[in-house]
Amino acid sequence: MIDWNKIENFIGYGNPDAEVLFLGMEEGLGQSADLGGDLAERSRYSQCMDLFDAQGPLDDGQRFFGPNPKSQRTWRPMCHLMLRMLAPSSRPTAEQRVRYQADLLGRSGGATRLADRMSYRTTNVGEWRYAPFGRYPTREA
């Protein structure tokens, strides 16, 4: 069952009292993602979630964590910035960025929170896949 109130009141991933807030337009959604399953999973979220706990069940989200994480393109600048803040005189390597992503970005007890202006994931800004779920017939609504 989809709990639209939980989805619309979600404030992001990480520490709700984080020192650093990264604000984006909206989360991406893989082309092959099961939107109904995704919405049902997000209906179980608390208001602010640890990124690792939240992403695991969604669209192969575990690939960004663990011992051999894949770099997530949109998180890369955030990780770079955070590493530069921690060590201003150093230039973070790709390995350091992906380790920060896997271990520290958007984590409950960490220094960051990732939030989006819109609460609905999408494959691109020109596509609206939510009409069949009865909440909003169009993106404009």
23: helix, coil or strand? strand
pLDDT bin (cut points 50, 70, 90) of residue 121 is confident
In a domain, 130, yes or no: no
Q: Is residue 23 part of a domain?
A: yes
pLDDT value for 124: 76
If you average pLDDT over residues 39-58, what whole number do you get? 89
Q: Give the range of the structural domain holding residue 11, as residue numbers without chain letter.
A: 4-121
| pLDDT greater than 70 at residue 59 | no
Q: What is the pTM of this model?
A: 0.86
What is the reported pLDDT for 28? 75
At residue 55, does pLDDT exceed 90? Answer: no
Pairing of strands 12-14, 112-116: antiparallel
- What pLDDT, on a 0 to 100 scale, did the predictor assign at position 127? 80
The larger pLDDT score, comparing residue 38 to residue 59, is at 38
Does residue 135 lie within any of the structural domains?
A: no
The answer to whether residue 51 sits within a structural domain is yes
Instruction: Count how many domains the chain has.
Output: 1
Q: Which of 6-10, 47-51, 106-110, 118-122 has the lowest mean pLDDT?
A: 118-122
pLDDT of residue 90: 92
Give the pLDDT band (50/70/90) at residue 36. Answer: confident
Can you give the length of the chain in residues? Answer: 141
Q: Is 132 within the bounds of a domain?
A: no
Instruction: Measure Cα distances from 129 to 34, 42, 64, 82, 84 in Å.
Output: 11, 16, 25, 34, 38
Predicted confidence (pLDDT) at residue 15 exceeds the cutoff of 90: yes
Position of tokens 């706990």? 53
